[in-house]
């Protein structure tokens, strides 16, 4: 795993000027690659490539980058892993290629020479962001893996293109324009992340997953990137060719494919372990990893003082059953306070998924013992694990048929009581309620239902399910009108089933821009390579062939994934209500984080920065202090923006 950056310019800079310009860019990425660095320039072509290395495969100098192909045609900087490079190497050797070392970078270059860039990348199984200079075509190609596991940012102005693994590399580069994108900010306040291709800066973009951007003239506007793979096409093909076997046959097939994905990700010349929450996804990854290992796998989990958020005891039971070498770390409000000041540096674009704090801490602990860690991220989005999938389709369709005035009246009635009041009522009635109605945090869920009922349409309803601020436009000053990518995805009629459209929307936006971005930033902040076998693109393609009943069944998500896990871990250890890596945010904000939050949310400070309206934010802060915990997440988004603004724009 590494950090890459570079410059392509028509300004006629000398070689030393190119080197001087790219050096600060790669220095800003030193955390991504503490083991080695390198710069390559071609002044005549106006190109400079920079690299920071975290040595994982082929620790020798043969893995040094930037790396040139033997013919001298291609020069590459590459972040990530191509897990099937050994198979590709064997194929290339049969065709006459000879290799100096055993890095996957050499194989990538040989594949480009043999098959061309566009054809070669379709053969790669892995996670990657690649920049490659073609000396023959005089072109710079930027490539990103299919699901967007590895990031790649691009900035362009007349005569100059810069790129990097993180936005901070572009900021450190020449002539960067820090103009804020107000529409991106609005999206962030709603969703807690900025959906691609936007970034928080108006003139920078995220390269879309599964795309290639080829630039031949930095003096011209950026051309459109070209997709070599898309999850929309994978969904269309899968739904048109459904799996027709029995439940048992489907379980066998998924288990085989999962085992292969995990086995490929065991490839490393450094210590390897796994992150274990105790949930379905991470338990399955660890079970398969341990089954393939001759020694106890090193596993790591995080515990919370607040028991309703604590899943550590479940992780410990899974670890004990599997026989892993397990480490558990306790996360307190004090620990959160220690991590919070670092978040604006780690996430150099505002990001407010609250699991960022425990995710960072568990990665930091894991890094003391291993350099590579597998995680279970992606299982919910690929196999239907979210509660909004299991009840969302049925509920949204039913609510959509109810007249809007009736929905609004019921919503007002639910909202008349706070979530805490609903929680107390639920606890009082719990002894007589059936198990299907015994929910964790019922008050918060009821208020989500109220938001649904007040929405105009089914797409608006789904958007409200995933929104921190239901109407972020009311917070942002001088917002421009722009289409909402998630609402647009839900409004279309392809795929025809609402469940499929919800999952497709999440795989297009939430998975790469929230979940995978979070995993990348927190792991790379401590120089840990995180691998995510559940989003192997072959598994995603297979998941789209599965009937909906193999994803959600009897009110339960990830049905087929669970059947595989039950073969490896006793059902009673892993069968329980979904928790996720949530944190006691309201208690932290009203407790140890309160002075920090009060400072950032001061009315004078909000007005001085002139981006957000102070009144609705201060009103929400008062509601939180009065016990309305449902506003905490929206306030966290504002706090993350304020901290980011102070670090990068003040």
pTM of the predicted protein model: 0.92
User: Is the backbone of residue 273 left (phi > 0), alpha (psi -120 to 50) or beta?
Assistant: beta
CA dihedral 627, 630, 633, 639 (to 10 degrees): -40
Q: What is the pLDDT of residue 580?
A: 57
Give the domains, in start order, of the chain with CATH numbers.
Answer: 2-229 (3.60.20.10), 232-384+504-574 (3.40.50.620), 584-650 (no CATH)
* CA nearest neighbour of 123 among 154, 69, 87: 87
Residue pointed to by tokens 């100059």: 160
pLDDT less than 50: residues of the chain: none
**Strand ranges across the sheet with 226-227:** 67-68, 74-82, 126-134, 139-144, 211-215, 226-227
DSSP β-bridge partners for residue 39: 50
Residue pointed to by tokens 């003139």: 203
Tell me the per-residue pLDDT of 391-400, one tens digit each, with 9 for 90 and over.
Answer: 777 777 777 6
Q: What is the pLDDT of residue 489?
A: 75
Q: What is the pLDDT of residue 243?
A: 97
Contact indicator for 533, 265 with CB cutoff of 8 Å: yes
Q: What is the pLDDT of residue 633?
A: 94
Token readout for 112 is 């480009």
Q: What is the pLDDT of residue 418?
A: 67
Classified as helix, coil or strand, 162 is: strand
Q: Which residues 6+ apart lie within 8 Å of 434 measured at CB?
A: none
Residue 62: other Cβ atoms inside 10 A: 14
Q: Could you tell me where the DSSP H helices lie in 292-403?
A: 312-322, 333-339, 343-346, 356-367, 379-383, 387-390, 392-400
Tell me the per-residue pLDDT of 250-299, one tens digit each, with 9 for 90 and over.
Answer: 999 999 999 999 999 999 999 999 999 889 999 999 999 999 999 999 99
Q: What is the pLDDT of residue 439?
A: 60
Q: What is the pLDDT of residue 140?
A: 98
Q: What is the pLDDT of residue 496?
A: 87
Contacts 24+ apart (CB under 8 A), 337-342: 337/592, 337/593, 337/596, 340/593, 340/596, 340/643, 341/643, 342/525
């Amino acid at each position: 795993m590494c950090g890459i950056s570079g410059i392509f310019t028509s300004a006629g800079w000398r070689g030393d000027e190119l080197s001087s310009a790219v050096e600060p860019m790669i220095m800003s990425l030193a955390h991504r690659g503490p083991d080695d660095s390198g710069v390559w320039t071609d002044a005549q072509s106006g190109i400079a490539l920079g690299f920071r290395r975290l040595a994982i495969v082929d620790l020798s100098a043969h893995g040094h980058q930037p790396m040139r192909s033997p013919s001298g045609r291609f020069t590459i900087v590459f972040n990530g892993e191509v897990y099937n490079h050994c198979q590709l190497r064997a194929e290339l050797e049969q065709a006459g290629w000879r290799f100096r070392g055993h890095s996957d970078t050499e194989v990538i270059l040989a594949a480009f020479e043999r098959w061309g860039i566009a054809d070669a990348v379709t053969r790669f199984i892995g996670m990657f962001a690649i920049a490659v200079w073609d000396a023959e075509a005089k072109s710079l190609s930027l490539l990103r893996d299919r699901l967007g596991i590895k990031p790649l940012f691009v900035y362009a102005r007349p005569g100059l293109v810069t790129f990097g693994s993180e936005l901070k590399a572009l900021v450190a580069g020449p002539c960067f324009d820090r103009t804020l994108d107000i529409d991106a900010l609005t999206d962030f306040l709603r969703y807690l992340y900025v959906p691609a291709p936007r970034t928080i800066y108006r003139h920078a973009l995220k390269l879309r997953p599964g795309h290639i951007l080829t630039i031949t003239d930095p003096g011209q506007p950026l051309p459109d990137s070209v997709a070599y793979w898309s999850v929309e096409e994978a969904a269309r093909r899968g739904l048109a060719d459904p799996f027709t076997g029995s439940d048992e046959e489907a379980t066998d097939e998924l288990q085989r494919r999962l085992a292969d994905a995990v086995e490929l990700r065991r490839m490393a010349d450094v210590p390897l372990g796994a992150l274990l929450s105790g949930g379905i996804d991470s338990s399955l990854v660890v079970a398969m990893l341990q089954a393939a290992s001759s020694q106890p796998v090193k596993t790591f989990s995080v515990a919370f003082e607040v028991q309703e958020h604590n899943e550590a005891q479940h992780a410990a039971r899974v670890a004990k059953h599997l026989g892993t070498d397990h480490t558990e770390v306790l996360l307190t409000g004090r620990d959160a306070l220690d991590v919070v000041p670092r978040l604006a540096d780690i996430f150099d674009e505002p990001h407010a998924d609250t699991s960022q704090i425990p995710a960072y801490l568990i990665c930091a602990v894991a890094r003391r013992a291993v350099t590579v860690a597998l995680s279970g991220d992606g299982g919910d989005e690929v196999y239907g694990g979210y509660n909004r999938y299991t009840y969302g389709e049925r509920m949204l369709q039913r609510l959509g048929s109810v007249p809007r005035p009736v929905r609004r009246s019921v919503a007002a009635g639910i909202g008349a009581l706070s979530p805490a009041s609903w929680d107390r009522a639920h606890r009082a009635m719990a002894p007589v309620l059936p198990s299907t109605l015994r929910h964790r945090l019922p008050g918060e869920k009821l208020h989500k239902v109220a938001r649904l009922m007040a929405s105009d349409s089914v797409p608006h309803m789904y958007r409200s399910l995933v929104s921190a601020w239901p109407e972020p436009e009311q917070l942002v000053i001088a917002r421009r009108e722009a289409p909402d990518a998630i609402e647009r995805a839900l409004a279309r009629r392809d795929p025809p089933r609402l469940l499929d459209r919800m999952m497709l929307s999440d795989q297009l936006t939430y998975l790469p821009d929230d979940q995978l971005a979070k995993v990348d930033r927190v792991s790379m902040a401590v120089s840990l390579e995180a691998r995510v076998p559940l989003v192997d693109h072959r598994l995603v393609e297979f998941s789209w062939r599965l009937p909906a009943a193999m994803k959600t069944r009897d009110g339960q998500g990830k049905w087929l994934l669970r059947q595989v896990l039950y073969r490896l871990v006793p059902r009673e250890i892993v069968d329980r209500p979904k928790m996720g890596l949530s944190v006691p945010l309201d208690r932290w904000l009203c407790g140890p984080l309160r002075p920090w939050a009060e400072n950032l949310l001061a009315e004078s400070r909000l007005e001085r920065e002139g981006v957000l309206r102070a009144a609705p934010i201060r009103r929400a802060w008062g509601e939180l202090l009065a016990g309305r915990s449902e506003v905490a997440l929206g306030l966290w988004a504002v706090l993350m923006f304020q901290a980011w603004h102070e670090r990068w724009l003040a």
